[in-house]
Homo-oligomer: A and B are copies of this chain.
Amino acid sequence: MASPLTYPKAKGTTVNRYNNRATYDVKAIHSIVNESSVLHVAFAPDVEDPFPAILPMIGTMGSFDYPSAGLDEPLDCYLHGYVSSRIMRLAASSPQGLPVSIAATKVDGLVLALTPNANSYNYRSAILHGYASIVEKTEEKLWAMELITNSVVPDRWKNSRVPPDSAEMQSTKILRVKITAASGKVREGGPHDEAKDTTREDVTGSTWIGVVPVVEKLCEPIPASQNKIGELPNYIADYVADMNANAEAYALNAARLP
Q: Does A4 contact B (CB under 8 A)?
A: no
Within the complex, what minimum Cβ distance (angstroms) separates A212 from chain B?
Answer: 5
**When chains A and B are docked, how far (Å) is the Cα of A127 from the Cα of B40?**
11
Tell me if B210 and A227 are in contact (CB < 8 A). yes
Tell me if B198 and A226 are in contact (CB < 8 A). yes
Tell me if B218 and A216 are in contact (CB < 8 A). no
Residues on the B chain within 8 Å of A137, using CB: none
Contact A51-B99, Cβ < 8 Å, known A17-B82, A224-B191, A255-B222: yes
Contact A52-B44, Cβ < 8 Å, known A117-B168, A218-B212, A224-B191: yes
Interface size class of A (residues with CB under 8 A): 35 or more
Which of A20-28, A60-68, A71-79, A201-209 sits within the interface? A201-209
Within the complex, what minimum Cβ distance (angstroms) separates A175 from chain B?
Answer: 15
**When chains A and B are docked, how far (Å) is the Cα of A227 from the Cα of B127?**
34
Additional A-B contacts beyond A51-B129, A56-B103 (12; CB < 8 A) = A42-B52, A42-B54, A112-B160, A112-B236, A190-B225, A208-B232, A209-B226, A212-B222, A215-B219, A216-B216, A222-B256, A225-B258
Q: Which residues of A contact B (CB under 8 A)?
A: 10-12, 16-17, 37-38, 40, 42-45, 47, 49-56, 58, 82, 84-86, 99-103, 105, 107, 110, 112-117, 119, 121, 123, 125, 127, 129, 145-146, 149, 152-153, 156-157, 159-162, 164-165, 168, 171-172, 190-191, 193, 196-198, 200, 203-229, 232-233, 236, 240, 248, 251-252, 255-256, 258
Interface CB pairs A-B, < 8 A, 14: A11-B45, A40-B42, A40-B54, A42-B52, A52-B52, A52-B54, A107-B216, A153-B212, A161-B200, A190-B226, A208-B223, A210-B222, A210-B227, A213-B220
